[in-house]
Structure 1
């Protein structure tokens, strides 16, 4: 009894500290947090509305199919949704558990306190559960609300949904945390976080590609056939084994809407029994292996690094480029930092998936008119600019801030801030330009545009890439965050939001200025009307001048900010 009372006391103390932290975080927001919350709230609301409309439309189509085929397909669709959620929760839990149980900076202090280790383990489990599941639950909720609204269920349906969600979420969380504890106990390595992050990104990239290749936009066409809908849902078919938690919650939820409460309560009992068993297993195993695994991880992490004896004395490829030696050294440093941080290069898989999905979208555009294809090719320049803005916000804008607290070493070294920023420009500009031009040439080839539009698109993307990279580097130097704890938080700060707004405005201005020259070209090509004059080169000159302005001015201001900054 004394051990249980002490465990409960420790749990309350740790939970009170966590609640006070959350209260201070949300109760005293600064301007940066308010701006970020408003932006995330707006985008999240729009996504939830679109999610609800799409799923409601899907259920309505399926329910209208003849011979009761739609009813079984709706069940199959719900089963796919729950199975996907289960897999995503498992992956998300593994990533979150590694950071919360092993990497977090306050663990050494917590383990030095006179507390029962199981209290720390269980409080961290609740923290992992919340961190890993709240986003998925919020964004999946519109699907089930749309399902309930279509079938006009009572309020008890939503109560049952919440009751079933609890064990459904606890089960993958317990398995994920238990799996990472076993991994860290018997396979301790300081690369575990990078490996698991890479696997998580690979899973997300594959999921995005799979859902996109299903072409769900065809369901917004009123002329869509029943055969197309059946084929779509059949393509989602997964094994519906009776022992899968996704099958339990699916059958329980659909049975509740049909009034078969005995089946619903039986499936709910399965969920709670499985969750309870997973929690008991987790509590028994974690108490025996967690501290040993944590100590092993600390030993590996704090072990002295051995020098690489295979360093070559030969020249690198950078030595053959017409770049100053100082810039070559800075570029080499940035390349090594980029290669050693999997949070950077592992996202190349996401970029590759986005490129494939982008080209796939162009291939499936319902464009039968040659004039419309050429018009879309012009708008395609703006769309590529928007994609570049997102990539530059993530990589280029944050490139100055990732120097972190070691930025002072550059100030003490014989390095000029102009060379520092210019070196970063030449590191990021070529690969981003290559990606943008591949998208441009591939999409224009699929659209079958003429040579003039192809040439202007290639030149336009070249200018847009140059302007955005210069703007991203300059504004990143004007609004650095050297004390960041999370890489993703750099681009979501005030400076990052200002960059996104400025970059999108620049891309829109380029599109507006290019409208008149393209209008003249299309009149000459398709209508044989000559409506252009001296204004065509004037508009092109304005685009070049605007690009030079957004490239040079932010870079100069960023250099000035770095030179006068107090580190």
Structure 2
């Protein structure tokens, strides 16, 4: 069997697997697909409208007759966007290729078969490239469509967009795969995952802070005509002329300017580099990939960390704890410290907090009205952050019991104790995080006493509600087969949790908008708002009742759902 027949066989197998999945669709899969498709369409439309407005404004700038300023700025914008895409694709492929090339369940069968190694590597390379690039490509298309609409491009411009994307995606995918193979050859896979995740977040934090240090708002300040001419003449495309992002931007701009030969020249550069790097990766795979995979397969042991003595002593010193609750708390704390992929993400959370506070401090706010208004709107942003943490940690907590959940099911305790323990163990860390987030933000904003008290109490209730919602919905939609929290969070229950969480946060902000409006009118603008005390008390009462309902009802329904399960030990 030759190389092409082997590839045809492997891809036919993948095609048949996809057909089998489509013929056995469940309601959960269909609902999840509809939700994700709806969210994707909404983001696609908003992305297009946003960039269409920006590109339309930039492209019509016409200050000097001798220079097409708008076209030059659009070219610069395209190059910057493609450079950002290239960086994100590179890191995304490093992460994705770890799972595809080393942790896939079918690798043992494939690598022990008489198929050529190059055929198997190409199959896994294609899978990794598609998984890591699809979403980014979909959300990148509106930018290029908006450019075509503004410049009234012909059909071959739109046909060239996927043609340009093909080699543009191959280059970072190949580089990411090569980096992964070299890392796994010398380090364990789990260690590589942790290092890359932490490094990626630190890199993102550094880029955001660098962006703030550059103070982009100064770009709208007045400059001299000589400075403008000098900038435009030297900055059609960034000085790194040998980056794939530069070739891609030049290719698209050449098509918009009706210069097909220059577009073809830049496409050939992209194609030749993509082919050359892939051949290099294939040769590298022959040297290091199989050895790295065998080392990974032979070293699946888990190193446990000796922690918990102090935790056990502290829990035993609390006489108010029920023995069953104390045992569950000790179990969850030990599992948390043993799973390095869980506690290492605390470093990522710390980096996110630094970015959060840095951006709050950098806001150009000069009046008390703006400071208080941003503080109030910051409640919504803090709620979104808490919901994101909840879907990653709180919601999967029941499902992470995995195949051993039958022990909980058979234990002499009620599910009410089990879920209340989950609620307790997540509530206090989230409360500390939420209050730190709000109080430090308010100090940086220099808000007055009313907004400090309102935001502190509101985030307290909001944290309780989001924690109860996460624990309850995690019990209503358990997924004991998946042991990866990321997969559990992307299930239909995780998506519904995020939707309900955002709706709950928005409802709380909406209910408190009236008291805040009355306060601004009376204390900041010194005018009567016409609102009575009844409206204030009603708003505060509804906030409390909604938070109480969001906390209790999901846990109650989660208890009923777990009690109806039939477990087989």
TM class by shorter chain equals 0.7 to 0.9
Partner of 2:284: 285
How far, CA to CA, are the matches of 2:517 and 2:90 in structure 1?
53
Name the structure 2 match of 1:418: 416
Partner of 1:394: 392
The structural deviation recorded for 1:565 is 2.6
| TM-score (norm. length: structure 1) | 0.84
Deviation, 1:327, is 3.0
Match of 1:191, SS state, is: helix
Shift of 1:382: 4.2
Residue 263 of structure 1 corresponds to which residue in structure 2?
Answer: 262
Question: Which of 493, 496, 504 is the aligned partner of 1:495?
Answer: 493
Q: Partner residue of 1:243?
A: 242
CA distance in structure 2 between the partners assigned to 1:313 and 1:502 by the alignment: 38
Q: For residue 101 of structure 1, what is the aligned residue in structure 2?
A: 101
CA distance in 1, matches of 2:521, 2:73: 50
Map 1:406-485; keep pairs closer than 5 Å: 406-413=404-411, 416-445=414-443, 448-484=446-482
Instruction: Indicate whether 1:55 and 2:51 are aligned.
Output: yes
Q: Hey, what's the Cα distance between the residues in 1 that align with 2:157 and 2:545?
A: 61
1:484–1:490 CA contact under 8 A, matched in 2: yes
The answer for the alignment partner of 1:66 in structure 2 is: 63
Q: Is the 8 A contact 1:523 1:530 kept in 2?
A: no
CA contact (8 A) 1:201 1:347 kept: no
Q: Is 2:10 aligned against 1:11?
A: no
User: Structure 1 pair 227/477, CA: closer, same or farther in 2 (3 Å)?
Assistant: farther
Map 1:48-447; keep pairs closer than 5 Å. 48-63=44-59, 64=61, 66-67=63-64, 68=67, 69-204=69-204, 206=206, 240-301=239-300, 303=301, 316-320=313-317, 323-348=321-346, 351-352=349-350, 355=353, 358-359=356-357, 370=368, 374=372, 377-413=375-411, 416-445=414-443
- Shift of residue 82 of structure 1? 2.0
Check conservation: 1:80, 1:237, Cα contact below 8 A. Answer: no
Report the Cα distance in structure 2 between the residues aligned to 1:230 and 1:342, rounded to whole angstroms: 52
1:461-507 Cα shifts (integer Å, max 9, x gaps): 21121122112212211221111264233234333344344434444
Q: Is this contact kept in 1: 2:305–2:338, CA < 8 A?
A: no
Alpha-carbon spacing, 1:264–1:494, altered in 2? closer, same or farther (3 Å) = closer
TM-score in terms of structure 2 length? 0.84
Question: Is this contact kept in 1: 2:98–2:189, CA < 8 A?
Answer: no
Q: Partner of 2:34 in structure 1?
A: 38
Which range is displaced more, 308-317 or 66-75?
Answer: 308-317
Maintained 8 Å contact 1:212/1:357: no
Judged with a 3 Å threshold, the aligned counterparts in structure 2 of structure 1 residues 240 and 489 are, in CA distance, closer, same or farther, namely same
Aligned-residue RMSD, C-alpha: 3.7
User: CA offset at residue 524 of structure 1?
Assistant: 4.8
Contact 1:517-1:539 at 8 Å conserved across structures: yes
CA shift in 2, pair 1:239/1:187, >3 Å: farther
Structure 1 gaps, min length 5: none
Aligned residues of 2:157 and 2:255 also touching (Cα < 8 A): yes
Distance 1:425 1:499, change over 3 A: same
Post-superposition offset of 1:257: 2.8
* Unaligned runs of at least 5 residues, structure 2: none
Q: Which moved more, 1:175-184 or 1:203-212?
A: 203-212
Q: Which residue of 2 aligns with 1:549?
A: 549
Q: What displacement does 1:104 show? A: 0.7
Maintained 8 Å contact 1:429/1:465: yes
Q: Retained in 2: the 8 A contact 1:474–1:557?
A: yes
Aligned-partner Cα distance in 1 for 2:559–2:373: 40
CA distance in 1, matches of 2:535, 2:251: 68
Q: CA deviation at 1:528?
A: 5.7
| Closer, same or farther: CA 307–201 of 1 in aligned 2, 3 Å | closer
**In structure 2, distance between residues paired with 1:46 and 1:492:** 18
Structure 1 217/562 Cα, relative in aligned 2: closer, same or farther at 3 Å? farther
